[in-house]
A = this chain, B = another copy of it.
Amino acid sequence: MKKFNVAVVGVGAVGVEMLRCLKQRKFPVDTLRVLARSERDIMIDGDIYHVMPVSDDAFDGIDIALFAGTEGEKGAVVTYASVAVAKGAVVIDNGADFRLRDDVPLVVPEANRDEVRRHRGIIANPNCTTIQMIVALNQIHKRFGLEQIVLSSYQAVSGAGKQACVELFDEVKALAEANEDKGYDDAVKKLKRDFEVFGEQIAFNLIPKIGGYADEGYTSEEWKVVHETRKIYADQAIKATATCVRVPVFGAHSETVYFTTGKDSTLEDVKKALVESEGVVFHDDSELLPMPLHVETQDPVHVGRLRRDPFNKNCYWLWVVADNLRKGAALNAVQIAEEVIKLK
């Protein structure tokens, strides 16, 4: 079996998960180069990885370069993507910088794996919130079309990086300790500490804004759902809209998705499409419903609470949960890499 030289750039929450996915999925790695700002050793699941400083030379001989940088940041990928491509690597970027460029495929393999073929060096990984909805609705879109998608998200703190998880846990720990005798009544009182990542206490709270404000009062995160969905489904007519909310959950994003099919459909049609969808686990009402605590660390997108809207034809509700670091980021990127090596 042919093997490939792989670079992973960035060892934050997503980079670590990329290394985990490469190993777990037995990706045919020849040389693995882990790159970040500073040289050091890191341990993941008992394995030690030597991290080298990222530089032009570090991409010599690399076949596939996975950039883990979080979305929207102007990180390593902006500086090094063209270098890596010039040296013959295929760049797979987790960030938002290239996603909407015409010459860059934006890929969720379950939905549009053929797009990989038209890459010109760079392939983009969509945003976490978009990916899990795309996987969930993919067969429904293919069979019946999608006229409208109204999405409300319940997003885990891990989407804001490792430090965000530490912040939630530290808040909760401080609250639990400070109020040992007084019990829950005082636990809801505001902590006297800095909220570095979120600017607000996230423990026992919700923050109804993810990303900065952009056009029409929507946040950057909310616009990603609109534009990325249209590009991945190759369907500019879809009316997608979203409200994105941060919740005090460590891993796995959840979403309520209210959608309208383009052609006439029945509840049975839609259920069948979901059951037959690649990468989707359908939960019936009689089963345990998808919950972030159970879905975390899992690969598939879990869906449940499917219902038709009795008052609006072709309208349905769906509850969608997936691990935002895995299918929402690292796993999807590694799946793209798996498609890339099929072409080689």
Contacts and interface: CB of A to CB of B under 8 A. Distances in A.
Interface of A: 148, 150, 152, 154, 165-166, 168-170, 172-173, 175-177, 179-180, 183-184, 187-188, 190, 200-201, 204-209, 213, 215-218, 239-241, 243, 245, 247-251, 254, 256, 258, 285, 289-293, 296, 304-312, 315, 317, 319
A250 B208 contact: no
Contacts of A184: 165-166, 168-170, 250
Contact of A172 (B175, B213, B247, B293): B175
Nearest to A187: B169
17 contacts: A152-B152, A166-B183, A172-B175, A200-B291, A200-B293, A204-B248, A204-B249, A205-B249, A205-B291, A206-B254, A209-B305, A239-B311, A241-B309, A245-B319, A247-B248, A248-B248, A248-B249
A-side binding surface: helix, strand, loop or mixed? mixed
Nearest to A185: B165
B250 A308 contact: no
Nearest to A173: B176
A154 B245 CA distance: 10
Contacts of A319: 208, 243, 245
A344 to B, nearest CB: 36
Contacts of A188: 250-251, 293, 296
A293 B205 contact: yes
Contacts of A293: 188, 190, 200-201, 204-205
A129 to B, nearest CB: 14
A256 B173 CA distance: 29
Contacts of A239: 309, 311-312
Contacts of A240: 311
B307 A217 contact: yes
Which residue among A208, A209, A243 has the maximum number of chain B CB atoms within 10 Å of its CB?
A208
A245 B253 CA distance: 13
A190 B291 CA distance: 12
Given A154-B206, A206-B249, 12 more contacts: A148-B312, A176-B176, A188-B251, A201-B293, A205-B249, A206-B254, A207-B289, A213-B285, A217-B285, A240-B311, A243-B317, A245-B256
Contacts of A251: 188
A304 B208 CA distance: 9
Contacts of A241: 258, 309, 311-312, 315, 317
Top 8 closest A-B pairs, CB basis? A169-B184, A152-B152, A239-B311, A205-B293, A217-B307, A173-B176, A176-B176, A152-B256
Contacts of A312: 148, 239, 241
B208 A254 contact: yes
Contacts of A201: 293
Nearest to A320: B208
A310 B176 CA distance: 44
A216 B177 contact: no
Which residue among A168, A240, A293, A310 has the maximum number of chain B CB atoms within 10 Å of its CB?
A293
